[in-house]
Amino acid sequence: MSGSGSSGTQNSAAQNNSSLAGGRSYLAIPGPSVVPDAVLNAMHRASPNIYAGALIDMTDTLIPDLKRVARTKAHVAIYIANGHGAWEAAFANTLAPGDRVLALATGRFGHGWAEMAHNMGAEVQMLDFGRTSPIDPSRVEEALRADKDHNIKAVLATHVDTSTSALSDMAAIRAAIDAAGHPALLMADCIASLACDRFEMDAWGVDVVVTGSQKGLMMPPGLGFVFFNDKAAEVRRKLDRVSPYWDWTLRAQPDQFYQYFFGTAPTHHLYGLRAALDMIHDEGIEAVWARHDRLARAIWAACEVWAEGGALRINMSDPSHRSRAVTALSLPAPGASELRAWLEQNAGITLGVGLGMAEPDDPAWHGFFRIGHMGHVNAQMVLGVLGSIEAGMAALDIPRGQGAIGAAAQVIAKG
Ligand SMILES: *Cc1c(COP(=O)(O)O)cnc(C)c1O
């Protein structure tokens, strides 16, 4: 978005005394997500001692609680990085130049991870499932059966592609790999999905999981996480060379505190993460998933009613293929961009832009938007977003089915 666009927002709000955008703003995009006050308050402190004492003891407590979120007994390495850093960390520990990967794309993020593998010297075999379908495990099995010499070292799967909101069945992908009798690692991008959509690393047979702090974990961006099992650790041990910063070995089993982070610890982020993990485990991970499910179904219920008007479309038509963290939508261009601008100027809500659906300089780009509903989200926030979208569609005369908010309220009320 251009700088002039945002200053225009301020001007029109100042000139137009009827703007209702004052008060607390709400960033309803698929990351960064809303940071709870408990997390912000935990971070608001003087710099702690990094040599001894409370910070060191507290950091040790993060490790088992992170593993409980990913449902694993395996290992975890923490990086001072965003999601792209976690992506790179996973490859740095598993791929040698020239190794082949099978990349499964269901949107922009699947392609992005594959491009990173290519740029790190891997040979990428791409299976592209388009922008409106999940990964088809039977095509994965077929591709692996065709790889008789087992040249493919890793299968890359995005659990939830944030651009399309496609949710893929990771257990079924594991079953496909096993059915083909193939030894490749299964590597999952759970940056958007962790602590939103059900995910079970060990039960589903995922070898490597990458995620970040700023989505379901309700933190500011800045921490990347790579979970890896013993099979993946063995792959790492056989590599000739791993760049020292990204090497997960000591990070996952440090002898000294600084080795967790290969340098200065992300002090305040660690306190924030402690508070976020407390919130997740106090609620219970099953309850966290159930809350995301119910809130997502309320959003879909409203969107399905609006769609009856013929303008709005839910990108993923089959509910069983939809993420509970983000919903990708379209409105004929420039309707989506106009709706986003209306909500920002008049309701204090920022919705996500469309990603990977059209190029930013293509007029079609203004026909896509996304609602983020990951992490620290409750019923009043979802109903507020939906009611504001209803108001925005009314203001912009966008054709829509009637009764959307009532349909969402019914899901909130009855489940
Ligand atoms: C957000 C996201 C990323 C990228 O994370 P950054 O922190 O922006 O680097 C990668 N994959 C998925 C699925 C995401 O949702």
pLDDT at 9 over 90: no
CATH of 284-414, one of 3.30.1360.30, 3.90.650.10, 3.40.50.2300, 3.90.1150.10: 3.90.1150.10
pLDDT, residue 96, reads 97
Percent of the chain whose predicted confidence (pLDDT) is above 90: 95
Rounded Cα–Cα distance for residues 263 and 85 (Å): 16
Q: Over the chain, what is the mean pLDDT?
A: 95
Report angle CA 317, 414, 310 to the nearest 5 degrees: 30
191 lines ligand 1 (CB under 6 A): yes
222 lines ligand 1 (CB under 6 A): no
**What is the model's pTM?**
0.95
Rounded Cα–Cα distance for residues 280 and 348 (Å): 27
189 lines ligand 1 (CB under 6 A): yes
Rounded Cα–Cα distance for residues 253 and 275 (Å): 23
pLDDT, residue 269, reads 98
Give residue 33's pLDDT band: very low, low, confident or very high (50, 70, 90).
Answer: very high
**Can you say whether the dihedral through the CA atoms of 357, 208, 151, 168 is positive or negative?**
negative
Pairing mode of beta strands 160-161, 166-167: antiparallel
Mean pLDDT of 312-316: 98
pLDDT at 327 over 60: yes
CATH 3.40.640.10 domain extents, the chain? 37-282
pLDDT, residue 2, reads 39
Distance 86 CA to ligand 1 centre (A): 9
- Please tell me the class of the 37-282 domain: alpha beta
Q: In what order do the strands lie in the sheet with 326-330?
A: 26-28, 349-353, 368-372, 326-330, 313-314
pLDDT, residue 16, reads 53
pLDDT at 127 over 90: yes
Rounded to 5 degrees, φ, ψ at 330 are -135, 150
From the centroid of its chain, how far is CA 152? 26
pLDDT, residue 19, reads 87
83 lines ligand 1 (CB under 6 A): yes
Mean pLDDT of 97-102: 97
pLDDT digit string, tens, across residues 204-254: 999 999 999 999 999 999 999 999 999 999 999 999 999 999 999 999 999
109 lines ligand 1 (CB under 6 A): yes
Give residue 18's pLDDT band: very low, low, confident or very high (50, 70, 90).
Answer: confident
pLDDT, residue 137, reads 98
pLDDT at 3 over 70: no
367 lines ligand 1 (CB under 6 A): no
Torsion of CA 32, 37, 43, 46, to 10 degrees: 140
CATH 3.90.1150.10 domain extents, the chain? 284-414
pLDDT digit string, tens, across residues 344-359: 999 999 999 999 999 9
32 lines ligand 1 (CB under 6 A): no
Give residue 333's pLDDT band: very low, low, confident or very high (50, 70, 90).
Answer: very high
CA-closest residue to ligand 1 atom 8? 83
pLDDT at 413 over 60: yes
pLDDT, residue 310, reads 98
pLDDT at 14 over 90: no
CA-closest residue to ligand 1 atom 3? 83
Q: Are 113 and 136 in contact (CB under 8 A)?
A: no
Give residue 23's pLDDT band: very low, low, confident or very high (50, 70, 90).
Answer: very high
CA-closest residue to ligand 1 atom 4? 83
pLDDT, residue 10, reads 43
Rounded Cα–Cα distance for residues 387 and 23 (Å): 17
Ligand 1 atom nearest to 326, measured from its CA: 15
164 lines ligand 1 (CB under 6 A): no
Which of 87, 162, 190, 326 for a ligand 1 pocket mutation test, highest count of atoms within 8 Å of Cβ? 162
Q: Which residues contact 150 (CB under 8 A, 6 or more apart)?
A: 182, 183, 184
pLDDT at 76 over 60: yes
pLDDT, residue 369, reads 98
Mean pLDDT of 375-391: 98
pLDDT at 175 over 80: yes
Q: Are 330 and 357 in contact (CB under 8 A)?
A: yes
212 lines ligand 1 (CB under 6 A): yes
Q: Give the other-Cβ count within 10 Å of 289's Cβ.
A: 17
CA-closest residue to ligand 1 atom 2? 191
